[in-house]
Chains A and B, each alone.
Chain A
Amino acid sequence: MQIYFSRSYRHLKPDSKERLFLLLGCVLPCVVFFLFFYTKISYLLAVWVKEALTVTIPESSLRIAYAEFLPFFGGVYYVQIPSTMPSFQEITLNLAVTLILLFICFLPSRNSKGGTPLFIYFAIILLTHLIAIIFFMFAQDFYPYSATHYSELYIKQQVGIWLSFLVLSGLIMGILGYGGITGRLIAFWGTMTYSFVFGCVRYLASMFIISKVSSLYMAILFFSLGPLFDFLYLVCFYSIYINAQINRFDQGERRLKWLWL
């Protein structure tokens, strides 16, 4: 029997074998594989998005283009789509709605029960959108991005996200993870699968909005629905994994794994 200090000192012994297996046998190969195949993946994604968009945009105005990305590993494919500039009515309407929403966000008498972080988040997003509105209002023709350009930006960002998440979730599950290899692999693959699917549908949704509605929403899409929401699901899956581990390490054999100083 150990005399233990309950939660003051208890810790776990690092399981080097499982960690090495996960990092070297799973994560590293995935990263290498991805580095060599992201060009192909982006091509397939571009083809899929192009096919999906032909329903609403004439096929002849959709193209698949290629852009350089990482020097040694190759570029990425993306969909060239027609740009749509916002009309004056659209800009004005957006301006009015944005200002109203901003006013609501900053309303002094707002009850704090309403969730202030959300309001601040929305305020920042709305301010970004407001800047975009002003830009389009006064300097529309100097707007630096066409829809195609945005598409290229997006796909590069997305490939970057996938690559970084492979590394990040690998590091977190591999180094900070505990418990059996199965749980860690499930968490890792679950996160990456979700990331992949999410990235694909977000691409299609973004391209649809940009080309179908207007380029006015480019900034808000880029800043509000970007990497922050990717981290959201990473944290979500990580928390599910940790919760499972907390339960497992609280009973049975796993309880004996704790070291008490």
Chain B
Amino acid sequence: MTIIIIAITAFVIMLLFPILFSLFFLRKSSGKVLEIEQTKIRDPRYFVKSFTGLFDEKWADYDGSGKILLSREENILEADGLKEYPSVCQSIIYAINLDFRPQAGTRFEKEVYARQNAYLSGVETIRAICSKKNLVLGNGTKVLRWVDAEGTLTASDDCDLGISATSTTKIIVGGNCRFRRLYAPTILFGQGTGEVLLDECSHNLNLKSTPLDELRNIKYVTNDLADDAGVLAGTIITIYDITVLNRLTVKGHIRSHKSIRLCDNAVIYGNLFAEEDIYLGQNTRVYGSVFTQGSLYAESDVTIGQPGKTKSVIARGKVIFNKNCRVYGYVSSEAGGECCPDYNLSKMEPIALSRPRPHKGLLLKKIWPAVISIAMLFAIITTSISTTAILKRIHEKERLLEVEKAIAKEFTYGVDGKPDGGQLETIPTLVTKEHVYFEDRVLERFYYDPNGIWQASEILRGAMDSLPEGVNKYLMLIPTRISLEDDRYQMYSDDVIGAIAEIYATMPSEVITIDTANALFEHKSEYLFFRTDHVWTALGAYYAAEEFCKSAGIGMKDISEYQENRFEHYIGTMNALPEARTLSKYPDYVSYYIREGAANQQTITARRTKDDYLIYNTPTVALSRQGYDIFIGSYFSHSILYGDLKKDKTLMILGDEYSKALAPWLTPYYENVILVDSKFFYGGSMEFWQLFSQYKITDFVVMEYVQNLGNSLINTRIKGIFSKP
């Protein structure tokens, strides 16, 4: 019982553990609201404003000690008056009145704040720098974080502009420069002078005032679509790659689910949005913003935006500008931007856009959607196939069941209920100590144990002696199946009949012994025992009952008065034996017999009290049960059956599972038949004798399966039952 209690406790704990665990944390932590920076606004010059704002505030309290407290204490050097800087400068530099001109070969690991102009020539790296006027970065300068100028910011060749390069006036970017974000009213790439501004185009670009037609899913903007002036008035939304041919103008926006390509001299009045790369040919102009989830490639003389307005170039991938490109506003490139990469500006030749440059990432980008799509398709296909297969199987199973039923109805069973209509197997497949295995059945071996026989005799005699006077006493011992089998198998068993006879011989004369073995033997070719179970069939029980009735002087009804019904496909307890691998292929069937008008055949609801001791009114044929459980139902302590007779004639059977198939045959001849299970009777002798006297038992049968004779548990139980209170 301990194990069960522990298991149930563990089960309850494990069941509730996840919930209790969560509840514990619910109580323990109150939860934290996700913080939203309500006051945050995006400012392209955020870094410089943040730094200079803090610096100016702290500078007001600076005491000249060489240290200033910003977000933490920093060293500070005032640049005015400094002739030379350390080669690795780890202080913040503040140049107030003079231009900032450090010597070559210096590395600045802190910010530089110049109130005048700043000229960096030969400086290797600088963390961040801002100038209130103009700022020039010499060749090869590397900015680690940000750079800002309120005047013109000029970056010579081979510079790295860090994360953010901003200006309130202009940015000029040299060749082979790298950047992430740029912001200025005018940004010039490739050190072009940018003198030619787009005066002629800086007005009348209000797209909103003109209702725009919408063109969908086109791949080319050709002359056919444009008017005579080469202008297409309309917004293009397409799922394809789209190309705007040379010298055409689109007065609208372009939105592509793939890439956009503008051939040389094309003009777009609105915005460009693409999921993949954007290619801008020579001298193209886009007056709106450009946004791509891919990369942007701009050939020379490309203009994006308009003077006096802020537009943006945003790319998830790279942004490459060639010489003489202009952007009015903001450039952002997550993968990094380059200006005139790998070109020597002094030898610049105009390069026509020929073929789009393949992006390395393009192929990889497409793999996952394809993989997922294939996986889903596979899942759908396999699910559909398996569903179809399962439904087919279900249908097949049902059809087979119907066929089986049909077959069963025609009673085409073979010997001992063998479903294929055949004979019994003759060659054992395995012989163990306890059993003989055939493909279609298992036989229990009987071992003669003189001690066991003697003990059983003693107990049975004692039981019979304790019964009161006037009660008719009967003893019925049931042989094993093997004793009814062919002679060649008798070598696997000791003499069952002899053992039974030996016990019978020890009984007092008033005990009537029932010659069950002989009764069965006469009908041994019939289906008397199950092949897959150790118990007998209702037919076997019938013959035993017939023998009993003969001995008791009862005129038994013939079996023909009963209607045979079957419970098909019964696989009994022998199937649980590990060696019985093929038994399930040869199931038994259970016949049960109903006689019309018999009172005991009603399926009455079983009742049961809490203490498990008493069970009443079990049906003799329990139609809701399966297999051998059809008889009387499950394993009850004891059962009271209502018979057909209305006289004071009651029968009590003390027996094992064999009694369940026997009892229904005897109910016509008694008022009650009380079955006391020799294994499961939970009561003691007091309860037994109470039962005995309550029903005024007139006939008493002790019946045992011969294999149980030496069973000490049963012997003890019988002994206990019959001990006088």
Using a CB–CB cutoff of 8 Å, the interface residues on chain A facing chain B are: 1-3, 51-53, 55-56, 58, 60-61, 63-66, 68, 80, 82-88, 90, 140-143, 146-149, 194, 197-198, 200-202, 204-205, 208, 214, 225, 229, 232-233, 235-236, 239, 261
Instruction: Report B1-27 CB contacts with A as 1/0, cut-off 8 Å.
Output: 101100110110011011101100000
Beta-carbon contact of B14 and A66 below 8 Å: no
- CB within 8 Å for A82 and B634 given contacts A1-B145, A140-B605, A232-B18: yes
- CB within 8 Å for A198 and B14 given contacts A58-B635, A66-B576, A87-B609: yes
Which residues, 664 to 697 on B, are CB-close (under 8 Å) to A?
A: 679-680
Beta-carbon contact of B18 and A236 below 8 Å: yes
Residue B465 at the A interface, CB < 8 A? no
* A-B pairs with beta carbons under 8 Å apart, 9 shown: A60-B679, A68-B584, A143-B624, A149-B626, A194-B14, A201-B8, A202-B15, A204-B11, A235-B18
Q: In the complex, A52→B5 CA distance in Å?
A: 10
Beta-carbon contact of A261 and B316 below 8 Å: yes
Beta-carbon contact of A141 and B11 below 8 Å: no
Q: In the complex, A3→B14 CA distance in Å?
A: 46
Q: In the complex, A88→B617 CA distance in Å?
A: 12
Beta-carbon contact of B576 and A197 below 8 Å: no
Cross-chain contact of A208 among B4, B10, B22, B633 (Cβ < 8 A): B4
Q: Tell me the minimal C-beta distance from B144 to chain A in angstroms.
A: 8
Given contacts A141-B622, A225-B15, A236-B21, 4 further A-B contacts (CB under 8 A): A58-B635, A58-B679, A233-B18, A236-B18
Q: Tell me the minimal C-beta distance from A121 to chain B in angstroms.
A: 11
By a CB distance below 8 angstroms, the chain A residues around B11 are 198, 201-202, 204-205
Cross-chain contact of B623 among A141, A208, A233 (Cβ < 8 A): A141
Cross-chain contact of A52 among B7, B15, B316, B573 (Cβ < 8 A): B7
Beta-carbon contact of B3 and A64 below 8 Å: no
Residue B392 at the A interface, CB < 8 A? no
Q: In the complex, A140→B619 CA distance in Å?
A: 12
Q: Tell me the minimal C-beta distance from A73 to chain B in angstroms.
A: 15
Cross-chain contact of B635 among A61, A194, A214, A235 (Cβ < 8 A): A61
Q: In the complex, A141→B7 CA distance in Å?
A: 31
Residue of A nearest to B682 (CB): A58
Q: In the complex, A235→B18 CA distance in Å?
A: 8
Which residues, 174 to 201 on B, are CB-close (under 8 Å) to A?
A: 180-181
Q: In the complex, A58→B18 CA distance in Å?
A: 36
Which residues, 140 to 197 on B, are CB-close (under 8 Å) to A?
A: 144-145, 163-164, 180-181
Number of inter-chain CB pairs below 8 Å? 118
Residue B223 at the A interface, CB < 8 A? no
Beta-carbon contact of B634 and A83 below 8 Å: yes
Beta-carbon contact of B163 and A146 below 8 Å: no
Beta-carbon contact of A56 and B680 below 8 Å: no
By a CB distance below 8 angstroms, the chain B residues around A61 are 634-635, 679-680
Beta-carbon contact of A87 and B608 below 8 Å: yes
By a CB distance below 8 angstroms, the chain A residues around B10 are 197, 201
Beta-carbon contact of B575 and A87 below 8 Å: no
Residue B28 at the A interface, CB < 8 A? no
Q: In the complex, A202→B8 CA distance in Å?
A: 8
Beta-carbon contact of A87 and B607 below 8 Å: yes
Residue B439 at the A interface, CB < 8 A? no
Nearest 5 A-B pairs (CB), nearest first? Answer: A236-B18, A141-B624, A201-B11, A82-B634, A204-B7
- CB within 8 Å for A146 and B625 given contacts A65-B575, A229-B15: yes
Beta-carbon contact of A56 and B180 below 8 Å: no
By a CB distance below 8 angstroms, the chain B residues around A58 are 635, 679-680
Q: In the complex, A214→B610 CA distance in Å?
A: 11
Q: In the complex, A65→B626 CA distance in Å?
A: 14
Q: In the complex, A193→B652 CA distance in Å?
A: 52
Residue of A nearest to B634 (CB): A82
Q: In the complex, A61→B180 CA distance in Å?
A: 80
By a CB distance below 8 angstroms, the chain A residues around B619 are 141
Residue of B nearest to A209 (CB): B8
Residue of B nearest to A149 (CB): B626
Which residues, 467 to 521 on B, are CB-close (under 8 Å) to A?
A: none
- CB within 8 Å for A85 and B605 given contacts A1-B163, A202-B11, A236-B17: yes
By a CB distance below 8 angstroms, the chain A residues around B21 are 236
Which residues, 327 to 351 on B, are CB-close (under 8 Å) to A?
A: 334
Q: Tell me the minimal C-beta distance from B678 to chain A in angstroms.
A: 10
Residue of B nearest to A204 (CB): B7
Residue B629 at the A interface, CB < 8 A? yes
Q: In the complex, A87→B617 CA distance in Å?
A: 11
Beta-carbon contact of A65 and B163 below 8 Å: no
Q: In the complex, A129→B679 CA distance in Å?
A: 33
Beta-carbon contact of A52 and B19 below 8 Å: no
Q: Tell me the minimal C-beta distance from B319 to chain A in angstroms.
A: 15
By a CB distance below 8 angstroms, the chain B residues around A3 are 163-164, 180-181
Q: In the complex, A130→B15 CA distance in Å?
A: 23
Residue of A nearest to B626 (CB): A146
Beta-carbon contact of B7 and A205 below 8 Å: yes
Beta-carbon contact of A208 and B8 below 8 Å: yes
Q: In the complex, A140→B618 CA distance in Å?
A: 13
Cross-chain contact of A56 among B1, B607, B609 (Cβ < 8 A): B1
- CB within 8 Å for A64 and B576 given contacts A3-B180, A85-B608: yes
By a CB distance below 8 angstroms, the chain A residues around B22 are 236, 239
Q: Tell me the minimal C-beta distance from A144 to chain B in angstroms.
A: 8
By a CB distance below 8 angstroms, the chain B residues around A205 are 7-8, 11
By a CB distance below 8 angstroms, the chain A residues around B605 are 85, 87-88, 140-141
Residue of A nearest to B629 (CB): A146
Q: In the complex, A50→B163 CA distance in Å?
A: 71
Residue B218 at the A interface, CB < 8 A? no
Beta-carbon contact of A201 and B7 below 8 Å: yes
Q: Tell me the minimal C-beta distance from B44 to chain A in angstroms.
A: 11
Residue B591 at the A interface, CB < 8 A? no
Q: In the complex, A60→B623 CA distance in Å?
A: 23
Q: Tell me the minimal C-beta distance from A15 to chain B in angstroms.
A: 16
Q: In the complex, A58→B612 CA distance in Å?
A: 13
Residue of A nearest to B3 (CB): A52
- CB within 8 Å for A82 and B4 given contacts A146-B626, A194-B14, A232-B19: no
Beta-carbon contact of B680 and A87 below 8 Å: no
By a CB distance below 8 angstroms, the chain A residues around B573 are 63, 65, 80
Q: Tell me the minimal C-beta distance from B664 to chain A in angstroms.
A: 16
Q: In the complex, A142→B14 CA distance in Å?
A: 35
By a CB distance below 8 angstroms, the chain A residues around B14 are 194, 197-198, 201, 233
Beta-carbon contact of A204 and B575 below 8 Å: no
By a CB distance below 8 angstroms, the chain A residues around B606 are 85, 87
By a CB distance below 8 angstroms, the chain A residues around B626 are 146, 148-149
By a CB distance below 8 angstroms, the chain A residues around B15 are 198, 202, 225, 229
Instruction: Report B595-631 CB contacts with A as 1/0, cut-off 8 Å.
Output: 0000000010111110000000001001111100100
Beta-carbon contact of A142 and B624 below 8 Å: yes
Q: In the complex, A60→B712 CA distance in Å?
A: 13
By a CB distance below 8 angstroms, the chain B residues around A204 are 3-4, 7-8, 11
Q: Tell me the minimal C-beta distance from B190 to chain A in angstroms.
A: 25
Q: In the complex, A82→B635 CA distance in Å?
A: 6
Q: In the complex, A208→B2 CA distance in Å?
A: 13
By a CB distance below 8 angstroms, the chain B residues around A208 are 4, 7-8
Beta-carbon contact of B629 and A52 below 8 Å: no
Q: Tell me the minimal C-beta distance from A218 to chain B in angstroms.
A: 13
By a CB distance below 8 angstroms, the chain A residues around B3 are 51-52, 55, 204
Q: In the complex, A64→B4 CA distance in Å?
A: 18
Q: In the complex, A216→B10 CA distance in Å?
A: 23
Q: Which of A1, A83, A140, A214 has the most CB of B within 10 A?
A: A83
By a CB distance below 8 angstroms, the chain A residues around B603 are 141
Q: In the complex, A85→B606 CA distance in Å?
A: 6
Residue of A nearest to B714 (CB): A60
By a CB distance below 8 angstroms, the chain A residues around B316 are 261
By a CB distance below 8 angstroms, the chain B residues around A214 are 608
Q: Tell me the minimal C-beta distance from B164 to chain A in angstroms.
A: 8
Beta-carbon contact of A88 and B607 below 8 Å: yes
Q: Tell me the minimal C-beta distance from B372 to chain A in angstroms.
A: 12
By a CB distance below 8 angstroms, the chain B residues around A68 are 584
